[in-house]
Structures are given as C-alpha cells and as structure tokens.
Amino acid sequence: MKTKIILLGAVASMCLFGCKNNNGADEYDGDKLKVSFRNLYFDNYSGGDSYIKEVEDMFGLSFKLEPYSWQDWTTQVNGHVLAGNSPDVFHANIDSYNFVSYYKYWAEDKVIKQLPDDLSNWPNLKRMIDNTSNIEALKLDGHLYGIPIAKNTTDFSTSFSPFTYLYRRDWAKQYGVYQENDEYTWEQFNTLLDKFNRELSGKRKFALGDVEWGFPSITNFYKQVPHCFAYDETERKYVNNYSTDEYILGLEKSKEFAITDKYYSSDQYTATEGKMNEKYYSNQCGVLYENLSYSNMEALRIQLKRTNVNDKDFNVDDATAIMKIKGPDGKYALEGTDNWFSMTFINNNISEMKLNKILDLYDWLLSESGTNFAIYGFEGYDYTKDETGKVEIVRDRWYNDDGSLIDRVNGAKYLRYMLSLGYDTLEYDPMTEKSVVQYLNDWDAQMKTALADGELRVLKESPEVMWLTSEKKALHSGTLRTNALKTVTKYVFDKIKSINDYKSDRAISNGTWDQVLDEINTVLGGN
C-alpha cells in the first residue's frame, strides 16, 4: 500500500485519494450536526453513555465513533483515505519516515483540512499545539494540517520513551538471580536470562520477548540512533545505521540471544502484533520489552491477574517489575521521543462550520471544565466541589458495594484521547491505580536523574535529519527502514547466515541507500 502511494506521489498534482467534494453537505440527526470520529484509542468504545450524550447536547453534535484495530491501524487508515470515504476526523500514525508519504500528500491532495493559522479562538488547543516539539517541521508552507496528540498537556518536557523491560521479579527471586531495586548490570542481566532460560525451557516458556515493533531490543544497548540515519563523527556525515559497527555489535548479540543462547523464543520470528505481550501475560515469558505506558501496564496487570486467578500467592507487582538494565557501556539506553504521538486529522470535505464546531469541542476538552468532565463526570452526581474548588468524588458513584472500583465508561474521556494521551491526568484520575502511576513516575524520575548524571544514553536521530524532507529521503526512507528491519530479523534468526551476507543484502546495501545518504549529506552540509 505504502509503495503504491509513493509511486503515485510522482504525480501529486492529481487527486489521488478518491477526493469527493461535498463541502457544506452537513447532515443532521434531529437538530444535531453529525460528526464521525475514528481513533485508535477508542478501543471497543462506541458511545451510548450519558457522558457522551451530555457532550453531544452541549455542542449540538451527534457523534459516530469508530475504533481502529491495533493490528491494522495503518491499513485501515489507508483504506478509507484511498476509497475517499474517510470519517470527518481520523487518527494516523505519523512519524518522520512516513511524514511525506502520508501527511504531505494528504495535505497536497486535499484529503486533510488545514487548521486555521490563527487559533486564538481556541486558546487551549493553541497552547497545546504551540508546545509541540518540532512543530515547525509539521507545517507545510507555514500551515498545519493536523493536531499532534500530546502525551501530557501540562508538562511538555519529554526526552525519552518508556520503551523498556518488564520482568518476573517473582521468578528472579525464586531462581536466586534477583538484584536489589531491580537494577542490573549487563552481566547480571545476562546471568538472569541464562538462569531463566535453564529454568523455563522445556516448559513451553522462554526468557526474553520483544514487542514486535521493538525487535531486536538488544541493539538499543549498542546502536547510536533508533532507525536509519546515524552520524559518523569521524567521517562527519550521516551513514546507514544498520551497517554501523555499533549496530552490528548489537545485531551479533541479538543473534547470540536468539540462536546460541535461545533466550528469545523461535515464535518471535513470526510473531504478529500483540503475540509477545500475550506470551508474557500467559506466564510464558520471563522478560518483556514493551512500551510501558500506564495503559499498557494496566492492561498487562489485568491480564496477568486473570491468568493467575487461582494462584493465591500471585503478586502482580512482582510479575510486572520494571527491570533497570545498564548496557555493556555501563549506561541505561532508552529511545528518544517527541512530546506527542500520532496525529488527529480533519477531513478536508467537511464544512467550515463543522470544523469550527470540532475545534470548539477540542478546546473545551482541553479546558479545565472539559478535563474535569472527562475525568470526574457530572458535578453533583459523580463529584462535589468544596468552597475552595477542591473536588471530592461521591464514593457511591465510583465504588461498588463490595468495595471494588466501578469500571466507568465516560465517553468524554475517549474524546479527549483525540488530543492527549492524558499522562497529566493519571495522578488524579480516580480510575487509575495510583500505586502503578507512582511506580511509573518513580522510574521516570530515576531515569531523568540518570540522564542528568550521564548514566542514560538516549537514542535519537538529530531533528535536522529526522524531519528533513528532501526528495529522495522522502521518497525512500520509509521503505529502506521497513526492508532493513526485515533483513535484521532474518539475520538474528539465522535465515541469513553470515554478517557479510547481511551487509551485502539488498535491503542494507544498495544504490538507493547511497542516493538518499548523499542527498542528506549534501543538504545538511556533510561531506
């Protein structure tokens, strides 16, 4: 699909995406303007609760809400874009590698609507966008065509991702390889994997699994940058990351873990999205590399508790401990990040009135009252405020009579996910497990300290190359990365035997790589 788009991009002046010009064709449900939203974070939410109805009434809108599936998100987005039947608002994974092949073409082909240059009518939205890292890189001719979804709307400082290792601390203790405070040197980490492997193999269990998009995570401890373009300080130019000495070291270690040591399961080679996660919560995997966002952590904990419901000694904290591993260089290694992930796009076909109503809704969702409604619900029913404005939840509305927290469905919270992942609300959201939030915050604080002390290496491409949209890079970098990763996986699982064969593989070494790198170095003034 992506290749097709890129090829068509050569004639980008044509309408490529099944454009339908039905501007102003607003439809109403009674007196409410119909608006369709599709977002990954809706999960299986489809509306119907009183909270969403209240928002509909408040803004005179009637919502149609649809989720994407995690497995097919990009395919589903491309499906409706190419068919010309995108919802009014949709959600896409935009990164520097697909920026041009998706975002730029969608804007040029009028699939997505330009946001007003002047957002002063929507001050909360404006504030969030203004605080988006690399926001200028997301503008085309000075205009913005989508809303980057902020991780946190109060603290915009983010430098590293929580992509790291969870492990079975309970097993580590049982096998005598536990280290105090879950802190492991590289040697201790290797020792633990070896012990786990010896204890688990033969029981349809294994020591190490990586979330599929993060494989092979072991390279993080060696490589300079997460993806394609590393900077060679000696040569003073950008080079192919996948053939640098550092990457090759990481690759060899990964292969050792997969083939010689068998720490990785052979299932990792063909694992589809979610498979390793499933192995972990099924008690089949000892260490898991994953994106440890609160929601992922919560989901894993729920599943683990479910799996181990009959084990009275099971302690979910000990089954979801974060492992802090220092690599061979004695430093932690984490992938760098921006303060946003993915973007919300508005269909170019909608009327200006509908656009304004959507922006009104968005601004409210980011306001104090909107955030309060998304987190607490109805004042007087779900919560009260004292004279100082302090919120007090009405316990009977949040807890069952057996003392358990009610899994409340508040549609406004889902709507807010179109703008923010809500890291800023976790600490006071009554629905979150505070000890888990605190645990993640403690880990974050420890890593920030490590960063300040020079004990954390953050892997991040330089913004100058990451968001560079030169012609050849724009055209080829996404494919180069995808193909390189396939070859990396083949090498790790010995489908490609020798490192020379790896290095000379067409995905790692070819004329296109050379052309793209030459262009980058020329544009950025390298050799």
Partner 1 sequence: MKPGKFLILGTIGLLTCFSCQEARTVEKDFIAFTSQDIVQKSFGGLGVEWGTYEDTDKIVEGGWERIIAHMDHLKPARIRLMVSYDWFCQNFDGKGTDDKNDDTWTYNLTNKYAKNTIEILEYCQIHNIDVAFGAWNVIANLSGEDVWGMMEEVTSDIRWAKITGDILDYLVNKKGFDCIKWFVNSNEPNYSGNRGSSKNYNNTYDKWEQGVKNVRATLDSLGLKSISIVGGDTTGYAGTEEYLTNIARNIPEQVGDYGFHLYLSNIAVDRGEMFDQINSIYKKVKDIDGGLGVKRQANVWEAGLLDGKTLLDCQTAIRTGNYAVRMVDYTIQCLAAGVNGVVYWDFDDAMHFMYTATTMTPKEWGMFSSLAEATSNKQELRPWYHSSSLLCHMIKKGNLIYSPPQNDNNLDKTFRSIATRSQDGKQGGFVAVNAGLASVNKTFYIDDEIEGDKLYVYIFNGSSYRLDESGYIIPNYEIEGSLNKKFTIDVPQNSAVVVSNERL
Cβ distance 264 to 257 under 8 Å? Answer: yes
Task: Give the binding range for partner 1 (CB under 8 A) out of 7-15, 240-248, 333-341, 374-382.
Answer: 374-382
User: Given candidates 36, 46, 114, 351, which one binds partner 1 under the rule CB under 8 A?
Assistant: 46
Cβ distance 39 to 343 under 8 Å? Answer: no
Site string for partner 1, 253-282 (x = CB under 8 A): -------------------------x----
477 vs 99: CA distance, rounded Å: 10
Strand 206-210 versus strand 285-291 pairing type: parallel
Q: How many CB atoms lie within 10 A of CB 35?
A: 23
Q: Which is nearer to partner 1, 110 or 408 (CB)?
A: 408
456 vs 447: CA distance, rounded Å: 7
Length of the chain: 527
In 309-433, where does DSSP find H-type helix? 316-319, 352-366, 368-376, 395-398, 411-416
User: Given candidates 21, 50, 121, 315, which one binds partner 1 under the rule CB under 8 A?
Assistant: 50
406 vs 24: CA distance, rounded Å: 42
Task: Give the binding range for partner 1 (CB under 8 A) out of 48-56, 312-320, 356-364, 367-375.
Answer: 48-56
Amino acid at 337: T
Q: Which is nearer to partner 1, 23 or 400 (CB)?
A: 400
Does position 402 interact with partner 1 (CB under 8 A)? The reply is: yes
Does position 369 interact with partner 1 (CB under 8 A)? The reply is: no
Does position 431 interact with partner 1 (CB under 8 A)? The reply is: no
Q: Which is nearer to partner 1, 30 or 142 (CB)?
A: 30
Task: Give the binding range for partner 1 (CB under 8 A) out of 45-53, 250-258, 368-376, 476-484.
Answer: 45-53
Cβ distance 129 to 147 under 8 Å? Answer: yes
Q: How many residues bind partner 1 (CB under 8 A)?
A: 38
Q: Which is nearer to partner 1, 300 or 334 (CB)?
A: 300
Across 378-508, where does the E strand assignment appear? 383-385, 391-393, 456-459
Task: Give the binding range for partner 1 (CB under 8 A) out of 64-72, 219-227, 385-393, 497-505.
Answer: 64-72
Q: Of 190, 196, 199, nearest to 253 (Cα)?
A: 190
User: Given candidates 16, 39, 40, 47, which one binds partner 1 under the rule CB under 8 A?
Assistant: 47
In the complex, minimum distance from the CB of residue 314 to partner 1, in angstroms, rounded to a whole number:
13
378 vs 354: CA distance, rounded Å: 26
Task: Give the binding range for partner 1 (CB under 8 A) out of 198-206, 397-405, 455-463, 511-519.
Answer: 397-405
Interface positions, 277-316, toward partner 1 (CB under 8 A)? 278, 299, 302, 309-310
How remote is the C-alpha of 372 from its chain's centroid?
A: 25
In the complex, minimum distance from the CB of residue 516 to partner 1, in angstroms, rounded to a whole number:
34
Cβ distance 160 to 334 under 8 Å? Answer: yes
Interface positions, 502-521, toward partner 1 (CB under 8 A)? none
317 vs 192: CA distance, rounded Å: 19
Binding site for partner 1 (CB under 8 A): 29, 43-44, 46-51, 53, 62, 66-69, 72, 76, 79, 278, 299, 302, 309-310, 377-378, 381-382, 394, 396-397, 400-402, 404, 406-409
